[in-house]
Amino acid sequence: MRYSKIKRIISKAKVNRFDFLFYYSQKDYVNYMYYSDSYFRIPSSYLNKSLLTQSLSLTMACFASGEHDYSSKFQNGIDLLNKLKFNNIDTNVDFKNKPNADSLGIVFASKKIRRYTLVVVVIRSANYESEWASNFKIGNDKNSIYHKGFFEASEIFLESLKNYLLKYKIKGKIKLWSMGFSRGAISNNIASGRIDEMIENHRYIFDKKIKLKKDNFYSFCFESPRGVFFDESNYPKSEKFNNIYCILNYNDPVTKVVPRILNCSYFGNELYLPDRLNNYDFDDNLEKVKSQFELMPNYQQLGRYSISDFSMVVESRLSKIFASKNKNLINWTQGLFLDELTDLLGEYAVVSRDNYTALFQDGIRSALIKYFSSDAEGKSFLSSIKTKDKTESASVSAFIKKVKQILMSHKEILFPLLDKNNLNSIKSAHSPELCLSFLRSMDLNYTKDIIRPDLRGRYYKVQINNHKATFSILADEKEIINYVNGDNVDLDNKFIQDIRDKKIDIYLPADKEYVLLLNKLNSDECNIKIYEPNENRFNEINIEPIVENNKQVIKL
C-alpha cells in the first residue's frame, strides 16, 4: 500500500473517545482512549503511532482488576470491548482462576471489519501475582531458542486462541490484533514470532479454513523482558517479523531481564522511547511527555517523573570518598547503569543457561511463588520466603551471596543501589502510565503539539584512548563538549560522559550530526561506534579525518 494512501486513511479515520477502567495498586482508575477500526485497513508493517496508543490502552483495561474477585477480574476489559462494539467476548480458563506460577490470563473478542473478522487477543499483564516467578524460569533446553517460562506462556496463548476460534466458529479471512505488557509482552512476542514463522512456511494456522496474512497480523509488546536466544543462524529481526513491535523504555529494568550477554532478545522491531541516550532534543520532548503524564488519573500516587534525577554519585560518605578517588561515571544515565549491572550479573552470577538452571532456578522460583502467594504486605522478601527446605534455601542464599560479591567488587555499581531516590526512579521506569504518556505525546489524537523522535534507539559511543586529551564536539555549529588536557569544560551536562581506565567515553544520540575537532590527539586514539539496537551490537565507524586549521576534523 502506498504511503500517500496510508496517510489518507489515518487522516480520514473515524476516531471515537472511550472511557475505561484500569488497575493500579489495589484500585481501579478511570482513563480514556481513542479508537478507530480504520487503523486495521493499514498493513501491519507500517508503524501507526495511534494504533500503539490504542493497543496499550486496551492492554491496561485488561489488567486484572483490584475490585473484583478471581471469577471476574477481567471485567474492565470486557466492559471496554463492549464499548468498542466487539462480539464473542471471552477469556481463557486461566483468567477465571487465581494465577499460579505458570498460568496466563487472556481476553478474546472479535468483530467484522469489511471482508475480515478482526480477532483481538489481550494478555493479562498486571496484578497477576505468582505468575511473576516464570520470569526466572530460563531453562537450558539446547533444542529451544526460547526462555522456558515465556515459551510455556506462548503455548497457552496459541492453544487458547485455537480454542477460541473453534468455539465461535471463526473462519475465512481474519485480522489478528495481539498485545501485552511486561510478562504479557514477551508471551505475546514469542507467540507472535511463532505465528509469523507459520505464515512464512505456509503452514495452516489453527484451522485450514482460517486465512491470515502477515500484513493483517498486528502485534504489540510493551516494556517486554527478553526471551529469545539467538546466534547468527536464527537472529529474530528479519523481515518476516516486521509486523511485531516491542516498545521499550531504555531505563526500564524489566526490559533487561535475561542479561543481553546471554544473546537474548525479542522478535521484531525494537522501538525505544525518547531518552537522553538516543534523543538529542530529549529535554524539550520530555516536557510534553510530562504534560501527558500529569493527566494520568493516578498521577498523585505515581509521583512526578524522576528518571532524569538518577545519579551515580549519592549522598553517602563512602560513595563520595570512592567517587573522589576514581574520576569516573561523571554523567551516567539510569539505562546505562542498568546495562552495566545486568552485564555483571550475567557474566559472574548467571554465567550461562546451564549454570543458572542447575544452581539457582528452582530455588528462586520457589521463593518467589511463596512470596507472591502469601500476604506480603509489610514483609520483606527474605522474611516471607523462610523455608525448612534446605535445598531451596541454599539455592537462594547462594545466589544472593554471589550478587553481594559482585557488587562489593564493583562499588561504583553498588553505591547507586543504596540510594532510596535511585531505587524509586528505577522502579518508576516500568510504569505503564509513563509508557502511555510517551505514546500519547506522539499521537495526534491526544495533542496537536506532538513530538517526532527517532524511535530506533541508536547512539554513538566516542572513545578517546587518552585521558589527557584535548578535543571538542560540535552540533549545529555550537560547541557542546570541550576537553582541555583531559579536563572537562562543562558546557552542557546533559551529555553522557565516563572516564576510567585512562579512557574517555562519550555517548551521543544518533539522531543528530556532529563534528569532532581533535587537538593534540591522533585520530588513531579516537574510536567511534554506533549502537544499533535492532542488530543488538555496536558497529565500528571508519574514521576519515580531514585537517583544518591544524586540527583533525571528523564528521558524524
Average pLDDT over residues 299-322: 79
- Is the pLDDT at 322 greater than 60? The verdict is no
Question: What confidence category does residue 28 fall into, taking pLDDT thresholds of 50, 70 and 90?
Answer: very high
State which of 124-138, 150-164, 457-471, 497-511 shows the largest mean pLDDT.
150-164
The pLDDT assigned to 14 comes to: 95
- Is the pLDDT at 385 greater than 70? The verdict is no
Question: What would you report as the CA-atom Rg of the chain, rounded to the nearest whole angstrom?
Answer: 24
As a whole number of Å, the end-to-end CA separation of the chain is 34
Distance, in Å, from the CA atom of 327 to the CA atom of 206, rounded to the nearest integer, reads: 59
The pLDDT assigned to 298 comes to: 96
- Is the pLDDT at 411 greater than 90? The verdict is no
Pairing mode of beta strands 269-272, 264-265 = unpaired
The pLDDT assigned to 497 comes to: 83
Q: Which three cell numbers stand for residue 373?
A: 502467594
- Is the pLDDT at 549 greater than 80? The verdict is no
The pLDDT assigned to 382 comes to: 52
Q: Which residue has the higher pLDDT, 54 or 493?
A: 54
Average pLDDT over residues 211-228: 96
The pLDDT assigned to 173 comes to: 96
The pLDDT assigned to 106 comes to: 98
Q: Which three cell numbers stand for residue 172?
A: 475465512
* Sole residue written with cell 494478555: 123
Distance, in Å, from the CA atom of 223 to the CA atom of 220, rounded to the nearest integer, reads: 10
Phi, psi values for residue 143, rounded to 5° = -90, 0
Question: What confidence category does residue 487 fall into, taking pLDDT thresholds of 50, 70 and 90?
Answer: confident
* Sole residue written with cell 476516531: 15
Question: What confidence category does residue 133 fall into, taking pLDDT thresholds of 50, 70 and 90?
Answer: confident
Question: What confidence category does residue 392 fall into, taking pLDDT thresholds of 50, 70 and 90?
Answer: low
The helix/strand/coil state of 224 is coil
| Listed residue (215, 243, 213, 219) closest to 43, CA to CA | 215
| Listed residue (176, 195, 193) closest to 237, CA to CA | 193
- Is the pLDDT at 323 greater than 70? The verdict is no
Distance, in Å, from the CA atom of 334 to the CA atom of 331, rounded to the nearest integer, reads: 10
Question: What confidence category does residue 1 fall into, taking pLDDT thresholds of 50, 70 and 90?
Answer: confident
Question: What confidence category does residue 87 fall into, taking pLDDT thresholds of 50, 70 and 90?
Answer: very high
Neighbours of 35 (CB within 10 A): 24
- Is the pLDDT at 37 greater than 90? The verdict is yes
The pLDDT assigned to 461 comes to: 95
- Is the pLDDT at 450 greater than 60? The verdict is yes
- Is the pLDDT at 208 greater than 60? The verdict is yes
Q: Which residue(s) pair with 27 in the sheet?
A: 24
- Is the pLDDT at 237 greater than 80? The verdict is yes
The pLDDT assigned to 112 comes to: 97
Average pLDDT over residues 437-445: 98
Question: What confidence category does residue 544 fall into, taking pLDDT thresholds of 50, 70 and 90?
Answer: confident
- Is the pLDDT at 341 greater than 60? The verdict is yes
Q: What are the tens digits of pLDDT across the range 153-177?
A: 999 999 999 999 999 999 999 999 9
% of the chain with per-residue pLDDT over 70 = 91
- Is the pLDDT at 369 greater than 60? The verdict is yes
The pLDDT assigned to 466 comes to: 86
Q: Which residue(s) pair with 31 in the sheet?
A: 20
List, in order, residues 6 or more apart from 308 with CB less than 8 Å away.
Answer: 276, 286
Question: What does 22-53 look like in DSSP terms, one character per residue?
Answer: EEETTEEEEEEEEE-GGGGGS-TTS--HHHHH
Range from 69-73, 110-114, 497-501, 514-518 carrying the lowest mean pLDDT: 497-501
Which run of H or E residues covers position 435?
helix 432-440
* Structural contact between residues 276 and 284, judged by C-beta atoms closer than 8 angstroms: no
The pLDDT assigned to 76 comes to: 97
Distances (CA, A) of 120 to 65, 389, 453, 464: 19, 43, 29, 51
The pLDDT assigned to 235 comes to: 86
| Listed residue (12, 50, 53, 17) closest to 32, CA to CA | 17
Average pLDDT over all residues of the chain: 89
Distance, in Å, from the CA atom of 435 to the CA atom of 438, rounded to the nearest integer, reads: 5
Question: What confidence category does residue 537 fall into, taking pLDDT thresholds of 50, 70 and 90?
Answer: confident
* Structural contact between residues 266 and 227, judged by C-beta atoms closer than 8 angstroms: yes
Which run of H or E residues covers position 89?
strand 87-91
The pLDDT assigned to 232 comes to: 77
Question: What confidence category does residue 395 fall into, taking pLDDT thresholds of 50, 70 and 90?
Answer: confident
% of the chain with per-residue pLDDT over 90 = 64
Distances (CA, A) of 187 to 23, 145, 146, 556: 20, 14, 11, 39
Distance, in Å, from the CA atom of 179 to the CA atom of 389, rounded to the nearest integer, reads: 39
Question: What confidence category does residue 271 fall into, taking pLDDT thresholds of 50, 70 and 90?
Answer: very high
List, in order, residues 6 or more apart from 404 with CB less than 8 Å away.
Answer: none
Give the chain's domains with CATH numbers.
Answer: 3-302+428-440 (3.40.50), 312-418 (no CATH), 459-555 (no CATH)
| Listed residue (509, 527, 514) closest to 469, CA to CA | 527
Q: Which residue has the higher pLDDT, 87 or 552?
A: 87
